Amino acid sequence: MSERQFIDSLDFANNKRELRGQVALVEMPRLQDVLASPDASLQQDSNEGVGYILRGLQDENGKPMLSIKLDGVLELRCQRCLGGLVYPLKLVSQLFLAHRDDWDESYIEDGEAETILADQRLDVFALLEEEILLGLPFAPRHPAGACQVVAGGYLAEEGGRMQENPFAILSELKK
Ligand SMILES: [Zn+2]
C-alpha cells in the first residue's frame, strides 16, 4: 500500500516541486463505486494502480498552479450490461491555486483551468482521486454491439443512440 502524501500546495507550486509515483486503487475509496472489480485481477496484474506526476508551476502572470498527469488502466462497469469495461486512463489537468482571500472573479474568468483553494496540507491522493472522478465518462458503455449477452438476450440499445450521448462528446473535448 502506498503511503499517503501531503504537500503545502503554494510552496509546492512556487518552488516548482515535483512528485511522481503510483497510487493504489484502494487508496481512492470514492473511486471504488465506479470500478467493476476494485480489488480484482487488473490491479494485481499491473501491480500498482495509477501512475501520477504532480508538478508545481506558475502561469505567465505568476499565478501558482498544479499540473497533474495520470496514467493507468481502470476497469469500469458498463452501464448497459454491467460487465467490466477496460478504460485506459490518460489524464492531464491544470489547476490554479487561490488563497481564500483572493478568491475572486479573475480566477473564475480564467475558464480553461479549474481553481482549488491553496492548502498547507493538501492530500495528494484525494486530489488525484477527484481528478480521476471528474475525468471519467458519466455513463461508460461498451461500443454498440459489444455488450455481454445476458439472460434473455441483449440489454443493448440500438447502436445509433451511442453517437448522440452528449457526455461522450464532452469527455472527448476534455482531452
Ligand atoms: Zn456492456
In a domain, 163, yes or no: yes
**In this structure, are residues 81 and 150 in contact, taking their beta carbons and an 8 Å threshold?**
yes
In a domain, 1, yes or no: no
In a domain, 144, yes or no: yes
- Quote the pLDDT of residue 9: 96
In a domain, 111, yes or no: yes
- Measured in angstroms, how far is the CA atom of residue 135 from the centroid of ligand 1? 20
- Measured in angstroms, how far is the CA atom of residue 142 from the centroid of ligand 1? 4
In a domain, 36, yes or no: yes
**Number of folded domains that form the chain:** 1
- Quote the pLDDT of residue 55: 98
In a domain, 104, yes or no: yes
Q: Average pLDDT by consecutive 10-residue portion of the chain (175 residues)? A: 84 97 91 75 58 96 95 92 91 90 60 83 96 92 82 46 50 54
- Measured in angstroms, how far is the CA atom of residue 70 from the centroid of ligand 1? 25
CA distance linking residue 22 with residue 72, whole number of Å: 9
Angle at 76 between CA 70 and CA 78, to 5 degrees: 145
CA distance linking residue 129 with residue 13, whole number of Å: 20
In a domain, 137, yes or no: yes
For residue 49, the enclosing domain spans 6-174
- Measured in angstroms, how far is the CA atom of residue 159 from the centroid of ligand 1? 12
CA distance linking residue 72 with residue 169, whole number of Å: 22
- Measured in angstroms, how far is the CA atom of residue 164 from the centroid of ligand 1? 17
In a domain, 75, yes or no: yes
- Measured in angstroms, how far is the CA atom of residue 77 from the centroid of ligand 1? 8
- Quote the pLDDT of residue 36: 84
